[in-house]
């Protein structure tokens, strides 16, 4: 059964209102205070009524007087519990006609949260900082979820109206302005979307039909993507994804926690989405990428469909983060327990996954599956020194710079930005921001806020963190404290770290050895006791290459590799025989 086609968007005139609602026996349209009957066929209720952009509307189910927002609401100006508003997304005056998009391979991602990226916390304020990102050298701006949630501020993963854009950020038109401004500067846009669960406040979907299943994951009830009547639910998800590409000109989607999508059908919803995304990319004439977040270490996600996989473009790789962070910082609690050795770091840099059919002590079982680097490019793995999770899910939201030296931060940056993977930065890391990124919520319901705070304390017990140190997510100060301080970018060590990031990304853009998407030309030397590691990046065709020598100890070490120094944190000392280099403590050097 196909989805009823809505009338072409227009600012005035007749509108076709349609909603899938197989559960109620009667559905009426509530439009600007008036009720209109709707006609049902195959679970879809429709009616055509004159209406203008901005008109408030919703649906009244059976004999209940409550007006419920449209599950596909394009705008919620008064919050997720109130009426929807008509918005014609295709009337926006785009200026990006010349934009041809960017492939993910060779790109650099920059993850940000609109509410804390600037003091104002809006799309328009974020536009004012885009030139900083261009100057830094990133090519993709990855925006954490912006769809409708209850409250004024939130990480975005409590969304309940997936087709909306949070009004506090600037609404749908504000997001379109942001994407248009990114494209004008040569920046592609990635949007973080959540299809594995809905937030705890404002989810009315079950009143309409079987959108949810009986199962549950870490965040709540799972979405019905494989049970009875799931075909229309799957269409609800895929239509949403394609809408961001078509109506908002987004270039890539980051798919949150896909391991929590309980799909047992023969064609997984991720494969279905990949097929339709590829078809749309051919139609619009620009690359459209799908990036999965998954903790399974399963290459099936990124294996081409011809090889039996789902055909996604890339997936996040937490093993790289864990290997780098544990080796540099010395942390071993929780899921860092198996990481930290130079051997682990070398294995992960060359193979992509550390746990690839190996025993995970954190999970108490064998985990992961090997990735064939002759078949899958390393660029299909996204690597990072930190993310919103790896900062915000620490007890106090502390960034690595709270406990590491600037030199250690530089070593981490070199390991990631000059690796064979697609690198991603988290906002503020490029200048060692002194502000934390903490977990914050603004649930209007006191009992929900209290339950969230208690849940955080219980979650962190396994990491050995003192629950008394955990800030209250509901305290407005927790949100305010997480906003970046842009005055820091020109100050002291903050400015030096920023210069280092800029230089690393400039070198990445200049050298084919670094942007080469294949890891087959990568090999690693290391010394477990002396705590140094050298990553060799061979040119794919020429008989030359680069070596990235990193000293993770706090004392100088001599590494058995020579060459011309191109870039460093602290100046190295070449060996008299030119066959070795002395690297200062907590430093790196790139040698040609």
Q: What SS3 state is found at 75?
A: coil
- Write a three-state SS string for 204-273: CHHHHCCCEEEEEECCEEEECCCCCCHHHHHHHHHHHHHHHHHHCCCCEEEECCHHHCCCCCCCCHHHHH
Catalytic site residue 469?
no
Given CA atoms 236, 28, 220, 217 in this order, what sign does their dihedral have?
Answer: negative
Quote the CA–CA distance of 480 and 294 in Å, as a whole number: 30
Taking residue 285's Cβ as centre, other Cβ atoms within 10 Å add up to 8
Residue of 251, 271, 293, 432 marked active site: 293
Quote the CA–CA distance of 430 and 307 in Å, as a whole number: 38
| Beta strands at 522-527 and 109-112: parallel, antiparallel or unpaired | unpaired
Catalytic site residue 276?
no
Closest CA to 79 of 132, 148, 13, 22: 148
Q: Report the Cα–Cα distance between both ends of the chain, in Å, rounded.
A: 60
Cβ–Cβ under 8 Å, residues 312 and 301: yes
Residue of 256, 263, 338, 430 marked active site: 256
Quote the CA–CA distance of 572 and 556 in Å, as a whole number: 9
Quote the CA–CA distance of 295 and 319 in Å, as a whole number: 9
Q: Which two tokens stand for residue 51?
A: 């209406």
Cβ–Cβ under 8 Å, residues 317 and 352: yes
* DSSP character string of 520-562: TTEEEEEETTTTEEEEEEE-SSSS-EEEEEEE-SSS-EEES--
Cβ–Cβ under 8 Å, residues 442 and 479: yes
Q: What SS3 state is found at 426?
A: strand
Diameter of the chain by CA atoms?
Answer: 88
| Phi, psi (deg, nearest 5) at residue 390 | -75, -10
| Beta strands at 252-255 and 358-360: parallel, antiparallel or unpaired | unpaired
Cβ–Cβ under 8 Å, residues 565 and 575: no
Q: What SS3 state is found at 181?
A: helix
Q: Which long-range contacts (CB under 8 A, 24 or more apart) does 302-307 make?
A: 302/376, 302/380, 302/381, 303/375, 303/376, 305/271, 305/274, 305/275, 307/375
Beta bridge partners, 384, equal 424
* Residue partners of 357: CB distance under 8 A and separation at least 6: 366, 367, 368, 369, 370
H/E stretch holding 447 reads helix 446-459
| Phi, psi (deg, nearest 5) at residue 87 | -145, 125
User: Number of C-alpha atoms within 13 angstroms, CB side, residue 193?
Assistant: 29
- Catalytic residue positions, numbered: 256, 293
């Amino acid at each position: 059964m196909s989805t009823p086609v809505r009338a072409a968007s227009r600012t005035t005139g007749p509108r076709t209102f349609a909603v899938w609602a197989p559960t109620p026996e009667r559905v009426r349209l509530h439009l600007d205070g008036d009720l209109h009957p709707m006609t049902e066929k195959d679970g879809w209720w429709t009616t055509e009524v004159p209406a203008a952009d901005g008109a408030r509307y919703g649906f009244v189910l059976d004999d209940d007087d409550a007006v419920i927002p449209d599950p596909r609401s394009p705008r919620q100006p008064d919050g997720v519990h109130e009426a929807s508003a008509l918005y014609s997304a295709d009337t926006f005056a785009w200026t990006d006609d010349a934009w041809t998009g960017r492939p993910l391979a060779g790109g650099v991602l920059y993850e940000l949260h609109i509410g804390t990226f600037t003091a104002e916390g809006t799309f328009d304020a974020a536009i004012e900082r885009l030139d900083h990102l261009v100057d830094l050298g990133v090519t993709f701006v990855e925006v954490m979820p912006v769809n409708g949630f209850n409250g004024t501020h939130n990480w975005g993963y409590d969304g309940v109206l997936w087709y909306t854009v949070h009004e506090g950020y600037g609404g749908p038109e504000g997001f379109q302005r942001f994407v248009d401004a990114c494209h004008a500067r040569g920046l592609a846009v990635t949007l973080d979307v959540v299809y594995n669960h809905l937030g705890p406040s404002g989810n009315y979907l079950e009143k309409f039909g079987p959108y949810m299943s009986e199962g549950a994951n870490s965040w709540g009830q799972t979405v019905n993507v494989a049970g009875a009547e799931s075909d229309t639910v799957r269409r609800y998800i895929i239509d949403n994804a394609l809408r961001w590409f078509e109506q908002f000109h987004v270039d890539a989607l980051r798919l949150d926690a896909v391991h929590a999508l309980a799909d047992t059908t023969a064609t997984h919803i991720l494969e279905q989405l990949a097929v339709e995304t590829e078809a749309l990319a051919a139609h619009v004439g620009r690359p459209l990428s799908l990036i999965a977040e998954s903790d399974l270490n399963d290459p099936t996600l990124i294996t081409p469909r011809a090889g039996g996989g789902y055909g996604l473009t890339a997936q996040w790789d937490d093993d790289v983060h864990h290997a780098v962070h544990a080796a540099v910082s010395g942390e071993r609690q929780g899921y860092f327990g198996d990481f930290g050795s130079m051997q682990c770091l070398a294995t992960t840099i060359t193979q992509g996954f550390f746990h690839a059919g190996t025993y995970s002590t954190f999970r108490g079982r064998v985990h992961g599956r090997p990735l064939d680097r002759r078949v899958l490019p390393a660029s299909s793995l996204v690597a990072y020194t930190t993310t919103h999770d790896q900062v915000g899910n620490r007890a106090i939201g502390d960034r690595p710079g709270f406990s590491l030296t600037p030199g250690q931060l530089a070593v981490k940056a070199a390991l990631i930005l000059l690796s064979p993977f697609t690198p991603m930065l988290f906002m503020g890391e490029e200048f060692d921001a002194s502000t934390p990124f903490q977990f914050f919520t603004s649930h209007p319901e006191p009992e929900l806020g209290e339950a969230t705070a208690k849940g955080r304390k219980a979650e962190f017990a396994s990491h050995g963190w003192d629950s008394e140190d955990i800030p209250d997510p509901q305290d407005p100060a927790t949100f305010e404290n997480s906003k970046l301080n842009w005055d820091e970018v020109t100050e002291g060590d903050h400015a030096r770290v920023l210069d280092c990031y800029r230089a690393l990304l400039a070198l990445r853009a200049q050298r084919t050895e670094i942007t080469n998407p294949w890891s087959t030309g990568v090999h690693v030397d290391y010394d477990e006791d002396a705590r140094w590691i050298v990553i060799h990046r061979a040119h794919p065709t020429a008989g030359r290459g680069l070596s990235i020598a990193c000293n993770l100890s706090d004392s100088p070490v001599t590494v058995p590799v020579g060459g011309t120094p191109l870039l460093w944190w602290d100046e190295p000392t070449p060996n008299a025989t030119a066959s070795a280099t002395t690297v200062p403590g907590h430093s790196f050097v790139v040698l040609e």
